[in-house]
Amino acid sequence: MASIPPNLTRVPNILSSKVFLSNINRNGVSLARVQEQIATGRAIIRASDDIVKASTIGVLDDRLEITDQLKRNLDHARSSLNVLDNTFDEALGVAQEARDISSDQANLTSSPAERAAQATVIDQMLVAMMNIANREGVAGYLLGGTTSTIAPVQGFYNYFRYSGQGNGLTTDTGQASAVPITVGGSAIARASSRVRADVDLNPSLTRDTRLTDVRGGRALGVSLGPIELSINSGTRIRVETTGSDTIGDVLDRVQNAIRAYETETGTTVLGPGGVRTNGGAISFDLAGANTVQVFDIGTGITGRDLGLVTEPVTVYNPSAPTGLDLNPKITLRTELSALQGVTLPLGRIRVANAGRAAVVDLTNAQTVQDVKNAIEGSNLGLRVDINASGTALDVLTEVASGSQNSMSIGEYLGGDTAARLGIRSFGATTRVSDMNFGRGVEVVDGQSPPAGGQVNVDLNADFAITLGNGAQTRIVIDLRPTDLTTVQNVVDVINNQIQTQLAAAGVAGTALVAGLASDGNGITLRQDPSFANRVTVLPENNSRAAEQLGLFNGTWDATTGTLQGEDRAKVRSESLFSALVDLREALRTNDVSGIALAGEQLGSLGDELAETRGLVGSFQQRVDSALTRETDRSVLDEATRSSLRDLDLAEAATRYSLLQTQYQAGLQTTAAAQRLSLLDFLR
């Protein structure tokens, strides 16, 4: 209420006016604030209302905003996971139905016509699987991996090509691990089978090598910072490497520091080569008897990462001028001439996939990118990647094709380019366990006569080779499990047994030699070209070794007297699509064993699909639990914020009424006081 302090008995009119006006304004402000609170429904509108409550409300606002985003992410993830679950469920149903067909048609009572009719059913299953694989969710194509905007499975030369890449997209749910909303290669469709290079291409260090592309002296990359140089054990010179992008930047900074020392002291430390690269390391071209030593500063590690600070300490001199190998990685920009593990020039290679073949000419390739472009440009559904360690090339097939038309990479007309690049699919170092799509080679071993006694060699023979000479010399080959390591080891074992038995038969050792094909792939048996008849191979003791090594249905070249076996180390994408294609082709060709093998593969893929679906289910449970938890926390935070921020309308209305009364009384008092004059005091 507007009033004049009682201790003031007489005041000037202007003072009383100001006092009355100040009180009325203060009362009006309070009234306006209550009106604002009632209009907004909030007791705390600005920080100045209550700094402690306002700060707490700010924290709760942030938490609620984060919670709302997490709830949206969880809803997004739940929607994707539901569609994924349905996708894998339908795919599992197709796999089980196809496996039932395989079981029914693998028996001997089924006729070729019945099997051909079932092949048509499998065709329809493949169409259905393509629709399943290309299903879309809230984040795009569910099986596209990180490329979720492109349909992952497309028709390709009567087969199916998977173009998805990466492990898939994930969403942040505020948990320890992210939840997938798309997936990469799965048992439904994938391009994971590859020819893994077995040759370390060992790139050299160059001035253009980026520091991010080297493993460094500690194999942990390069951490940039200051280092110190001591020339001829003198005062240390500080060199700052921070900001360097390439090895050339580091070399220039170190060399400039040494050149400045030369100018200052009038001595010659470096030769014409200066600071340079040598193989995979940094090297000094030191003149005369000069020495250089490199030190890290304090806890710095730059010198060690650059391979210049070693334990024990290295003092660089003309006879020991080079640091540790920094192990640079291969990149697409890497020049082929910088690959120490490859002898140039390259030649041609023969590639085959999806029932088609091409000769890829790498003669003019200058960089790794050129090699990649040439192989992928063959349009055979191949992809070339640099392996995870950055040491070699991997070639992947993206096509789910029949087993007979899978990927093969071999030599061309006696060349060795594929072997030099380490990408030959059937080479000397190919593991026997990887042949026949991972089934390896089976041999007969440990057999003894029914009467007992020692193991009989004749009962353990796997196949016999009959020469085309007049005597039809017969060579019996007995392979043991310990022989089945690499293709080269198997070839060596066969040659040793051939040589022993040729000598025993009085036939020249050059009459028969086993080896690897010089054009394409496969094990070869080359006899003396003067022999009139061809080489024949027959199994012994029901062993499947010769068939699984590819020696049964090989190609005969009468001119050179060479039997070239089949490529049994082909590579393909092992997926539900490839299994269905195998089953379709086996049904059409009335291949009972092929039908059984396809059924076996469908069974293992069905198990994998069931496991994947179970994993999706576990993610769904995590998402549901997280969503419940976030909802509960949101409700608690909302309640806490409401108790701090929201207005008690009953209390505010009462206060508003009192302020109105006070405001009206102040106006009336002010009006009455303003009517008084000096005469009123004199009376």
- Mean pLDDT for 615-640 is 89
Asked if residue 549 is part of any domain, the answer here is: yes
Last residue of a domain, one of 288, 305, 322: 305
Is pLDDT of 343 > 60? yes
Which band of pLDDT confidence, cut at 50, 70 and 90, is reported for residue 471? very high
Last residue of a domain, one of 607, 631, 655: 631
- Residue 455's pLDDT is what? 56
How many other β-carbons are positioned within 10 Å of the β-carbon of residue 210? 17
Across-strand partners of 334?
Answer: none
Claim to verify: residue 186 and residue 280 sit in the same structural domain: no
Residue 566 exposure: Cα atoms within 13 Å on the Cβ side: 17
Q: In one letter, which amino acid is 658?
A: L
Claim to verify: residue 554 and residue 613 sit in the same structural domain: no
Claim to verify: residue 223 and residue 249 sit in the same structural domain: yes
Pairing relationship of beta strands 399-400 and 159-162 according to DSSP bridges:
antiparallel
- Residue 575's pLDDT is what? 92
- Mean pLDDT for 100-107 is 91
pTM comes to 0.81
Claim to verify: residue 77 and residue 184 sit in the same structural domain: yes
- Residue 532's pLDDT is what? 92
- Residue 192's pLDDT is what? 65
- Residue 5's pLDDT is what? 57
Spatial contact of 102 and 599, defined as CB atoms under 8 Å apart = yes
- Residue 43's pLDDT is what? 78
- What are the pLDDT digits (tens) for 317-335? 999 999 999 999 999 999 9
Asked if residue 449 is part of any domain, the answer here is: no
Claim to verify: residue 164 and residue 68 sit in the same structural domain: yes
- Residue 35's pLDDT is what? 78
Q: What percent of the chain shows pLDDT beyond 70?
A: 94
- What are the pLDDT digits (tens) for 160-215? 999 888 888 888 777 667 888 888 888 888 886 678 777 889 999 999 999 999 99
DSSP code at position 295: E
Claim to verify: residue 486 and residue 390 sit in the same structural domain: no
- Residue 18's pLDDT is what? 73
Claim to verify: residue 158 and residue 259 sit in the same structural domain: no
Q: Which of 27-36, 53-62, 531-540 has the highest mean pLDDT?
A: 531-540
State the angle between helix axes of 592-645 and 51-105 in degrees (0 to 180), rounded to the nearest 10. Answer: 170
Is pLDDT of 454 > 70? no
- What are the pLDDT digits (tens) for 253-298? 999 999 999 999 999 999 999 999 999 999 999 998 999 999 999 9
Asked if residue 672 is part of any domain, the answer here is: no
- Collapse the DSSP code of 577 into the 3-class scheme (helix H, G, I; strand E, B; otherwise coil) and give the result: helix
- Residue 452's pLDDT is what? 58
Domain range spanning residue 535?
457-564
Which band of pLDDT confidence, cut at 50, 70 and 90, is reported for residue 666? confident
- Residue 37's pLDDT is what? 74
- What are the pLDDT digits (tens) for 147-162? 888 999 999 988 999 9
In which order are the strands placed within the sheet that holds 292-296?
236-240, 226-231, 292-296
- Residue 209's pLDDT is what? 95
- Residue 680's pLDDT is what? 58
Is pLDDT of 12 > 70? no
Mean pLDDT lowest for which of 16-20, 133-137, 371-375? 16-20
How many other β-carbons are positioned within 10 Å of the β-carbon of residue 7? 5
* Cα 564 to Cα 572: distance, rounded to the nearest angstrom: 22
Asked if residue 283 is part of any domain, the answer here is: yes
- Mean pLDDT for 80-104 is 93
- What are the pLDDT digits (tens) for 372-395? 999 999 999 999 999 988 999 999
Spatial contact of 357 and 382, defined as CB atoms under 8 Å apart = no
Asked if residue 82 is part of any domain, the answer here is: yes
Claim to verify: residue 95 and residue 129 sit in the same structural domain: yes
- Residue 379's pLDDT is what? 95
Asked if residue 551 is part of any domain, the answer here is: yes
* Cα 403 to Cα 550: distance, rounded to the nearest angstrom: 13
- Residue 682's pLDDT is what? 58
Claim to verify: residue 284 and residue 375 sit in the same structural domain: no
Mean pLDDT lowest for which of 312-316, 642-646, 677-681? 677-681
- What are the pLDDT digits (tens) for 487-527? 999 999 999 999 999 999 999 999 999 999 999 999 999 99
- Residue 572's pLDDT is what? 87
- Residue 313's pLDDT is what? 86
Question: Degrees (nearest 5) of the Cα angle 443, 448, 449?
Answer: 130
Claim to verify: residue 216 and residue 183 sit in the same structural domain: no
Asked if residue 461 is part of any domain, the answer here is: yes
Mean pLDDT lowest for which of 6-20, 462-476, 549-563, 639-653? 6-20
Instruction: Report helix, strand and coil shares of the chain as percent, to nearest 5.
Output: 45, 20, 40
**Which of the pair, 255 or 653, is modelled with greater confidence?**
255
CATH number of the structural domain spanning residue 131: 1.20.1330.10
Tell me the average pLDDT of the chain.
Answer: 89
- What are the pLDDT digits (tens) for 38-51? 887 777 888 777 88
Mean pLDDT lowest for which of 11-20, 153-162, 557-566? 11-20
Residue 302 is encoded by which pair of tokens?
């730059």
How many other β-carbons are positioned within 10 Å of the β-carbon of residue 165? 19
Claim to verify: residue 555 and residue 596 sit in the same structural domain: no
Mean pLDDT lowest for which of 75-84, 339-348, 654-663? 654-663
Spatial contact of 481 and 499, defined as CB atoms under 8 Å apart = no
Which band of pLDDT confidence, cut at 50, 70 and 90, is reported for residue 125? very high
Asked if residue 446 is part of any domain, the answer here is: no
Last residue of a domain, one of 405, 425, 445: 425
| N residues, the chain | 683
- Residue 93's pLDDT is what? 94
- Residue 451's pLDDT is what? 60
Claim to verify: residue 591 and residue 554 sit in the same structural domain: no
Number of domains in the chain: 4
**Which of the pair, 582 or 653, is modelled with greater confidence?**
582
